[in-house]
Amino acid sequence: MEVNRRSFLKGGAIAATAMPMAGFAAAKEPENDGKAQYETDVLVVGGGPAGVCAAIAAARNGAKVLVVEQSGMLGGMATQGLVGPFMTCYDKAGEKMIIRGLFEEIVNRLVARGGALHPKGVFGNGPYSAWIPKGHDHVTPFDPEELKVLLDEMCAEAGVKVLLHTTFIDPVVEDGRASGARIFGKDGFSRVAAKIVVDATGDGDYAFRAGVPCVLGDGNGRLMPATMFFRVCNVDSEKLIADIEANKHTFHKKDGVSYRGFHWYVTKAIEAGEWDLPRRCLNMYRGVGKDVWLVNNGRIPNVDATNTESLSHAEVEGRHQTKVMMDFLRKYVPGCKDAILMCTGSTVGIRETRHVSGEAMLKVDDVMNGVVPEDSVFLAANSVDVHGGKNNPMVSSYQTINANWYGVSYRCLVAKGVENLLLAGRCLSGEPAAAGAVRVMPPCMAMGQAAGTAAALCLKVGTTPRALEGKMLVKTLAAQGAFLG
Ligand SMILES: Cc1cc2nc3c(=O)[nH]c(=O)nc-3n(C[C@H](O)[C@H](O)[C@H](O)COP(=O)(O)OP(=O)(O)OC[C@H]3O[C@@H](n4cnc5c(N)ncnc54)[C@H](O)[C@@H]3O)c2cc1C
């Protein structure tokens, strides 16, 4: 199903934001004197892994940059969502780090301050990868609190202006060109005037509202399930690891259901009426710190995170699932008797919403077969990872690629039909399954670096993202630390 601005307006979302409730004073609209409250070269909408890297890259390449982020922190799913570890940044052979540039800098700076383990020493089939063998070598466990601070510091060093607690409301599109946005914060509505906009909202909010065609989920209304991440501490890690190691030979898949970590206890909990969750196991990733673990196990099907009611349901269900899993851990799992719930994500984890149309579309066959377009702005070997599950009409599929890596064309980041609009991160232009490969954080950061660098280059040479020569961008990225083969 293609969604467009007309169906969005029909749904009343804009009308609802503009209409004050009876008895409440309306938030102040900006004075209509034609002046914007903020003027910038590059406006980055969304401060997640993609948006932060876009902002830093654009600023380091000489642009004046403003980021608007609806939450109180940078990092998106990595910090608000507690998602981790960073999925692999290596080639399929596991020999070479291929996602480098800003991602590598972030990893190295985190490692230096004790906030991450370097991926060179982390392997699949072990505690840092929830004992998943395929495609999970060289993931990067990190501490989200260190990441929050580091991203603040890196933006400040680069001279990026960051507005937190600021929601993008509406695009300003003049003569078919993205030229700013209406935003909303504690001080009411404001306007931003910008020369180039990068949509890094994950959901493609800017592109969608600017009228760029988008596809929701798989195009038939089906979306990957949401998951509430949570972090646990005070775990006796040695006992927990010993139990998994003694039982991992029993991991299996039956009737499309995966029986992995602790399925031997989940069965008992089901019999005791203490487990009503879709999954029949509990996947835990070891975190940074000897007693810290991350749980990526909940499954909330049929969530459309572009719909406020649906998203609200997901948050509540995610917390319910967390409570069931915490009770289970303390009662059944060795080493977890005194486990403490450190926190749930301040937002539920959303794997998929809109795929925005761009000048090119990343194809799943090209990902699987290692196609590297001439204007590739990064290389990756991340597997095609589409989540479904027993209660979800989508079929789960995890396919490692048939080559050592694939490339992603710059043109997948150039929005169709609206000038001066770049895409970065989860909302790139790609077939849903192809996006299922590059939606993980290292590729999203590489996309951000590419989009931000492209924006700054356009301003330097006086061209538009659509007209920018891919060759020039690729050369600049390579000179600035990206690995491009
Ligand atoms: C359950 C789950 C498990 C995952 N597991 C892994 C994993 O193990 N490893 C891995 O590497 N990746 C994993 N991923 C994928 C990864 O976390 C995301 O796909 C990735 O963070 C996307 O980056 P992004 O910058 O495009 O979007 P996001 O991280 O979603 O960031 C978007 C940012 O934009 C902001 N924003 C959105 N709309 C607006 C608006 N209107 N106005 C202002 N700000 C806005 C948001 O607040 C957010 O900060 C997982 C994802 C989920 C949900």
What integer pLDDT is reported at residue 256 of this predicted model?
79
> Is the CB of 351 within 6 Å of ligand 1?
yes
Residue 184 CA, ligand 1 centroid: distance in Å: 21
Report d(CA 28, CA 250) in Å as an integer. Answer: 61
What integer pLDDT is reported at residue 7 of this predicted model?
46
Residue 190 CA, ligand 1 centroid: distance in Å: 25
Pocket test for ligand 1, best of 56, 107, 440 (most atoms within 8 A of CB): 440
Q: What is the mean pLDDT of residues 245-267?
A: 94
Residue 153 CA, ligand 1 centroid: distance in Å: 20
Q: What is the pLDDT of residues 420-447, one digit of tens each?
A: 999 999 999 999 999 999 999 999 999 9
Residue 335 CA, ligand 1 centroid: distance in Å: 31
Please state, as a whole number, how many other Cβ atoms lie within 10 Å of the Cβ of residue 38.
Answer: 18
Residue 453 CA, ligand 1 centroid: distance in Å: 21
Q: How far is CA 150 from CA 74, 79, 107, 367, in A?
A: 10, 11, 10, 32
Cβ pair 58, 456 in contact under 8 A: yes
What integer pLDDT is reported at residue 451 of this predicted model?
99
Residue 426 CA, ligand 1 centroid: distance in Å: 7
Residue 32 CA, ligand 1 centroid: distance in Å: 34
Helix (H) or strand (E) holding 161: strand 161-163
Helix (H) or strand (E) holding 158: helix 144-158
> Is the CB of 68 within 6 Å of ligand 1?
yes
Cβ pair 294, 272 in contact under 8 A: no
What integer pLDDT is reported at residue 396 of this predicted model?
75
Q: Is the pTM for the entire model greater than 0.85?
A: yes
Pocket test for ligand 1, best of 441, 447, 449 (most atoms within 8 A of CB): 441
Q: What is the mean pLDDT of residues 224-235?
A: 97
Q: How many CA atoms lie within 13 A of 161 on its CB side?
A: 13
pLDDT value at 5 more than 70: no
Q: What is the pLDDT of residues 31-88, one digit of tens each?
A: 556 688 999 999 999 999 999 999 999 999 999 999 999 999 999 999 999 999 999 9
Residue ranges of domains in the chain, CATH in brackets = 38-83+86-120+141-222+352-479 (3.50.50.60), 230-344 (no CATH)
Report d(CA 123, CA 88) in Å as an integer. Answer: 10
Label residue 221 by pLDDT band (50, 70, 90): confident
pLDDT value at 30 more than 80: no
Cβ pair 399, 433 in contact under 8 A: no
Cβ pair 396, 386 in contact under 8 A: yes
Report d(CA 473, CA 410) in Å as an integer. Answer: 9
Q: Using the atom order of ligand 1, give the atom closest to the CA of residue 427.
A: 26
> Is the CB of 350 within 6 Å of ligand 1?
yes
Label residue 255 by pLDDT band (50, 70, 90): confident
Report d(CA 425, CA 53) in Å as an integer. Answer: 10
> Is the CB of 444 within 6 Å of ligand 1?
yes
> Hey, whose CA ends up nearest to atom 35 of ligand 1?
46
Q: What is the pLDDT of residues 301-315, one digit of tens each?
A: 999 999 999 999 999
Q: Which of 471, 388, 386, 474 is nearest to 430 (CA)?
A: 386
Q: What is the pLDDT of residues 320-358, one digit of tens each?
A: 999 999 999 999 999 999 999 999 999 999 999 999 999
pLDDT value at 391 more than 80: no
> Is the CB of 86 within 6 Å of ligand 1?
yes
Residue 202 CA, ligand 1 centroid: distance in Å: 6
Q: What is the pLDDT of residues 74-133, one digit of tens each?
A: 999 999 999 999 999 999 999 999 999 999 999 999 999 999 999 999 999 999 999 999
Q: Using the atom order of ligand 1, give the atom closest to the CA of residue 75.
A: 49
Label residue 394 by pLDDT band (50, 70, 90): low
Structure tokens belonging to residue 255: 């009737």
pLDDT value at 409 more than 90: yes
Q: What is the pLDDT of residues 145-197, one digit of tens each?
A: 999 999 999 999 999 999 999 999 999 999 999 999 999 999 999 999 999 99
What integer pLDDT is reported at residue 23 of this predicted model?
56
Report d(CA 56, CA 77) in Å as an integer. Answer: 18
Burial 86-114 (b: 16+ CB within 10 A, else e): bbbbbbbebebbbbbbbbbbbbebbbeee
What integer pLDDT is reported at residue 2 of this predicted model?
53
> Is the CB of 440 within 6 Å of ligand 1?
yes
Spatial strand order in the sheet of 354-356: 2-3, 214-216, 354-356
> Hey, whose CA ends up nearest to atom 34 of ligand 1?
46
Average pLDDT value for the chain: 93
pLDDT value at 286 more than 50: yes
pLDDT value at 9 more than 80: no
Q: What is the pLDDT of residues 14-28, one digit of tens each?
A: 333 344 455 556 666
Q: Using the atom order of ligand 1, give the atom closest to the CA of residue 205.
A: 41
Residue 70 CA, ligand 1 centroid: distance in Å: 13
